[in-house]
């Protein structure tokens, strides 16, 4: 059962970059963008992360923190964050606990083969931990601008 708009998100704890463990409740009090990407250091995921990185100050001005998540191991996440100078943490969800809670594991087709993978998705969660907006099947171009607009609207009330 995945979390739906208007519901409180589950308080899941996962390993994060910088040798930390992070609980989603740690982000209460500010709005949170939680974005899921298929694989660290691949072109689309790198571009999406760079777009969030480049807009980080604007998100901060909208009282919104950013968290990225994928099924990559923590070493891959640490390397990805360091190489791209991301000012936000990345979560390692190897057992797919967070992915399943947000229902982002989907059947994907690549080179004619089907496999289960992470569907690029973004979720906007308010300061009380309630899911306010979601974007599924995301195309990277212009996506971060749309999320930023929604975060600014949420801050404005």
Do you know the residue count of the chain?
A: 157
Which among 45, 90, 98, 124 is annotated as catalytic? 45
Mean pLDDT of 100-107: 94
The model's pTM is 0.95
Look at residue 56 and tell me if it is in a domain: yes
Q: Is 45 a catalytic residue?
A: yes
Strands 64-70 and 31-36: parallel
- Mean pLDDT of the residues in the chain: 95
Q: What is the pLDDT of residues 64-81, one digit of tens each?
A: 999 999 999 999 999 999
User: CA 62, CA 44: separation in Å to the nearest integer?
Assistant: 25
Burial class (CB in 10 A: 0-12, 13-18, 19+), 26: middle
- The pLDDT assigned to 1 comes to 62
Task: Please check whether residue 3 lies inside any domain of the structure.
Answer: no
Does residue 4 belong to any structural domain of this protein?
Answer: no
Q: How many whole angstroms separate alpha carbon 13 and alpha carbon 34?
A: 14
The answer as to whether 38 is a domain residue is: yes
Q: Does residue 18 fall inside a structural domain?
A: yes
CATH number at 152 reads: 3.40.30.10
Q: How many CB atoms neighbour CB 94 within 10 A?
A: 13
45 pLDDT above the threshold of 70: yes
Number of domains in the chain: 1
Angle at 48 between CA 155 and CA 11, to 5 degrees: 55
| 7 domain residue, yes or no | no
Domain range enclosing 75 = 13-156
73/96 Cα distance (integer angstroms): 11
Nearest to 108 by CA among 74, 69, 71: 71
* Phi (first) and psi of residue 56, to 5 degrees: -55, -40
Where do the H-state alpha helices sit in 10-142?
Answer: 43-54, 56-61, 74-84, 97-101
Domain membership flag for residue 102: yes
Percent of the chain with pLDDT over 90: 90
Q: Which helix (H) or strand (E) holds 156?
A: helix 143-156
Residue 69, strand partner residues: 36, 91
């Amino acid at each position: 059962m995945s979390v739906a708009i208007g519901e409180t998100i589950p308080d899941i704890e996962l390993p994060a970059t910088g040798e930390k463990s992070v609980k989603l409740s740690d982000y209460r009090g500010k709005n949170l963008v939680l974005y899921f990407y298929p694989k660290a250091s691949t072109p689309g995921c790198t571009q999406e992360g760079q777009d969030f990185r480049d807009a980080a100050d604007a998100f901060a001005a909208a009282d919104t923190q950013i968290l990225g998540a994928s099924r990559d191991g923590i070493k891959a996440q640490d390397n990805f964050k360091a190489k791209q100078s991301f000012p936000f943490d990345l979560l390692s969800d190897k057992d797919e606990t967070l992915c399943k809670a947000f229902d982002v594991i989907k059947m994907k087709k690549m080179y004619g083969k089907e496999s289960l993978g992470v569907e690029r998705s973004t979720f906007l969660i308010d300061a009380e931990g309630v899911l306010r907006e979601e974007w599924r099947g995301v195309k990277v171009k212009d996506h971060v601008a749309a999320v930023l607009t929604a975060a600014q609207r949420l801050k404005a009330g």
